[in-house]
Amino acid sequence: MSSPLHKSASHESAVGHVTGRARYVDDIAEPHDTAHAAVATSTVAAGRLLGLELTAARALPGVLGVYSAADIPGVNRIGPIVHDEPLLAEDQVFFHGQALAVVVAETREVARAAAALVKPQIEPTLPVLTMDEAIERADFHTDAHVIARGDVEQALASAAVVVEQDVRTGGQDHFYLETHGSFAQPVEGGLKVTSSTQHPTEVQREVAAVLGKPASTVVCEVARLGGGFGGKESQASQFACLAAMGAHFTGRPVKLVLKRHEDMAWTGNRHPFLGRYRAGFDAQGKLVGFAVKIYSNGGWTSDLSSPVMDRALFHLDNAYRIPALRFEGRVCRTNLPSNTAFRGFGGPQGVAVIEDAMERGAAALGIDPVELRRRNYYVDGDACPYGQVVDNVRLQRITDQLLESADYVARRAEIDAFNASSRWIRRGIGFVPLKFGISFTASLLNQAGALVLVYADGSVQLNHGGTEMGQGLYSKMLAVAADTLGVRLDQIRHMATSTEKVPNTSATAASSGTDLNGAAVLDACTTVRERMRPVAAEMLDCKPDAVRFVDGSCVAGDSSVPFADVANLCWVKQISLSSTGYYATPGIAYDAETGRGTPFFYYAYGAAFAEVEVDARTGQYGLVRVDILQDVGDSLNPSIDRGQVEGAFVQGLGWLTVEELIYDDSGRMATHGPSTYKIPAVGDIPADFRVALLDRSAQEGVIGGSKAVGEPPFLLAFAALGALRHAVGSFGGLPEIAVPATHESVLRAIEALR
């Protein structure tokens, strides 16, 4: 055996997963005095809260306490950036499902029953539910964020063709299989909160603030999440705070685990976006000007809407050079759950706009849509709209390789021939390239910490600030630690993520978990290893730099000593065997005032072809084949990275094709369970699903030469939309397929052309 780095391996918890031994928040053994919380919520989307009748709820046998905003000992404000979110409603309600009071009771059943007895007195007002209404009323969470370059009006005036369109993309529920869960336990000196959060530090901070206590009195621990996708980045805190309030007041452990319908109705989703654009192309198909106004539906509080909007603006260019441009983005305020982070974080919504322009531009100019895109690719040295200069652009290389492996030209011709002779069944092939900026767009968040403890018997505990939610972060961190310390994987125990071990961490988000935490783990392990090196050299009777740490041994030439023996001797010699590690991404900064800066450390690239077959009588369709080539740098674990690519693609496919959030006119969610909100099932994936990782692609300055992989491949699902356009377009004319491209939406587009 040698280093596990860069090798395929199963998920570190796989055996725990398949045996049911892997524990999630709701699985933790409950001390005998555990109580349960439930939340009473608003049943109107907007109004004045005149009073809250709690006596009936309090009187129910088994109820330990019912608490409202007035009871909050600290501040009744949470929120990741702007602290504008009342944990419990004060004198106004802002959405259907807003928390009014928290009930603590002996059992879950009693807690829910009591929550239903909380009777608010609300004077309803007219809710604002759509972006169009908010724009009309000029009701925004943010000022306009503008990024501009050149004279776009002039460029559009001189263009050979100008296409313009309103592009709408819809919301998306995260549908992590594990709903939000929090378990707050009083401990000496404070509270321990186990939460299904992607951001333990934020849970710690907000629980402390709500209770009016210093952060040091709260420990937040996360062993794993049953999926996060951004939905548990900022929005885990409110439930952790409510459970913590219960524990604070009753002195008992309090658990709050949401039912699916609660989770879906109360928590935010992917932001729906509206993009109004005008795009000008010259006769060769080169984009000369692009003017875009984008709006997002932020919901009732600002949450992460502002950085989501930033990332949408940063991805309005996708993979293409744009000489003259003006981008402007604003977040609409509405009476809906507060929309939040979701894999891609605005990137997909931005890309949707320019990809629409590419499709329309290709049609208007009669240029093959793949060819048109290639003509516009960035090349090394080009500047992005916000001024960052790109280098090591891999778009052409990826496209060349994929054109060949997917056999695009021949297949497109075959498809066109097939369509010409088929009445009802039509096929189509679509393509999308991607460039995705890696780093938190709020530059200061690009930091991470680790803590490694080596014991005198050679066993190791590994801690860092990242959370494991299925993406394989722990597997990769174990490999980095094993590689750096030169120990076997079975010598290392990965500890649950805890604010007790590593403080002031950033959310595990922005695809950055491995980059940031990996570098911190590397730092910590290197420190300890270098302290051990002279001792090992002494034992091996060689020079310190002759010692190699491999596979649980320290080796020099033909001789070796076990790592454990070296560790023990370090202890005897009074040498520290533990260390923290720290990393901050160098050289990134962005100024939103000027719309200029270097927000990203590097870019990830990729591309996909998708082929669909459509039945024009029902609008039903299926993916026949998908070819993906993704740049993940020098992969730390190819099989895990492939899993990220496939999972992201299918999730993106769900967003663009079948998932639809529906609210009724009063602002109440109609699709609050999997019976009505459909995510892709096994039969929806491509019949022939070919995923490859770009070879020879090490990324300088990143842990192990790897690249981020969590979010970028989500964008590849746009290839399916292109394929649908091609298929539907075979009826003659420019297809208008509204997303999500449900069977109904596709049938409407077909009927409009037939």
Show which residues are catalytic. Answer: 711
Angle at 298 between CA 41 and CA 70, to 5 degrees: 35
Q: For residue 670, count other CB atoms closer than 10 A to its CB.
A: 12
Distance CA(490)–CA(33), nearest Å, equals: 37
As measured in angstroms, the least distance from the Cβ of 14 to other proteins is 4
16 binds, among other proteins, ligand FES, none (CB under 5 to 8 A by kind): other proteins
Query: Cβ closer to other proteins: 112 or 464?
Result: 112
Query: Cβ closer to other proteins: 104 or 537?
Result: 104
**Token pair in block for residue 322:** 């744009």
Asked if 67 and 246 count as a contact pair (C-beta separation under 8 A), the reply is yes
Helix (H/G/I), strand (E/B), else coil: 588: coil
As measured in angstroms, the least distance from the Cβ of 10 to ligand FES is 13
As measured in angstroms, the least distance from the Cβ of 592 to other proteins is 33
CA-closest candidate to residue 711, choices 430, 509, 477: 509
Helix (H/G/I), strand (E/B), else coil: 732: coil
Query: Cβ closer to other proteins: 571 or 731?
Result: 731
As measured in angstroms, the least distance from the Cβ of 181 to other proteins is 11
Query: Cβ closer to other proteins: 154 or 618?
Result: 618
As measured in angstroms, the least distance from the Cβ of 681 to ligand FES is 12
Instruction: Name the β-bridge partners of 292.
Output: 277, 327
Residues contacting residue 382 through CB under 8 Å, at least 6 positions apart: 321, 389, 390, 393
Asked if 611 and 411 count as a contact pair (C-beta separation under 8 A), the reply is yes
As measured in angstroms, the least distance from the Cβ of 642 to ligand FES is 14
Query: Cβ closer to ligand FES: 455 or 689?
Result: 689
Distance of CA 739 to the CA centre of its chain: 21
Distance CA(666)–CA(563), nearest Å, equals: 66
Q: What is the contact surface with ligand FES in residues (CB under 6 A)?
A: 177, 227, 470
**Does residue 337 have a cis peptide bond before it, meaning omega lies within 30 degrees of 0?**
no
From residue 474, give the alpha-carbon distance in Å to each of 174, 344, 439, 471, 637: 22, 21, 20, 8, 11
Count of all residues that appear for the chain in the document: 754
Angle at 461 between CA 460 and CA 467, to 5 degrees: 145
CA-closest candidate to residue 225, choices 494, 468, 22, 506: 468
618 binds, among ligand FES, other proteins, none (CB under 5 to 8 A by kind): other proteins
Q: What share of the chain is helix, strand, coil (3-state, %, to 5)?
A: 35, 25, 40
Distance CA(272)–CA(73), nearest Å, equals: 36
Query: Cβ closer to ligand FES: 336 or 509?
Result: 509
597 binds, among other proteins, ligand FES, none (CB under 5 to 8 A by kind): none
As measured in angstroms, the least distance from the Cβ of 179 to ligand FES is 11
Query: Cβ closer to ligand FES: 289 or 470?
Result: 470
Asked if 398 and 377 count as a contact pair (C-beta separation under 8 A), the reply is no
The residue at minimum Cβ distance from ligand FES is 177
Full DSSP string of 139-202 = -BSSPPEEEEES-HHHHHHH-SEEEEEEEEE-------SSPPEEEEEEETTEEEEEE--S-HHH
Instruction: Name the β-bridge partners of 627.
Output: 609, 690
93 binds, among ligand FES, other proteins, none (CB under 5 to 8 A by kind): none
CA-closest candidate to residue 403, choices 394, 411, 415: 411
CA-closest candidate to residue 321, choices 350, 277, 354, 366: 354
As measured in angstroms, the least distance from the Cβ of 17 to ligand FES is 7
662 binds, among other proteins, ligand FES, none (CB under 5 to 8 A by kind): other proteins
Residues contacting residue 417 through CB under 8 Å, at least 6 positions apart: none
Please provide residue 345's backbone torsions phi and psi, each rounded to the nearest 5 degrees. Answer: 55, 50
CA-closest candidate to residue 532, choices 455, 589, 619: 455
542 binds, among other proteins, ligand FES, none (CB under 5 to 8 A by kind): none
Query: Cβ closer to ligand FES: 27 or 282?
Result: 27
Query: Cβ closer to other proteins: 576 or 618?
Result: 618
HSE, side-chain direction, 13 A CA sphere, residue 84: 16
As measured in angstroms, the least distance from the Cβ of 641 to ligand FES is 16
As measured in angstroms, the least distance from the Cβ of 470 to ligand FES is 5
**Token pair in block for residue 618:** 């029902």
Query: Cβ closer to other proteins: 229 or 249?
Result: 229
378 binds, among ligand FES, other proteins, none (CB under 5 to 8 A by kind): none
As measured in angstroms, the least distance from the Cβ of 355 to other proteins is 21
751 binds, among other proteins, ligand FES, none (CB under 5 to 8 A by kind): other proteins
Query: Cβ closer to ligand FES: 127 or 227?
Result: 227
HSE, side-chain direction, 13 A CA sphere, residue 146: 9
753 binds, among other proteins, ligand FES, none (CB under 5 to 8 A by kind): none
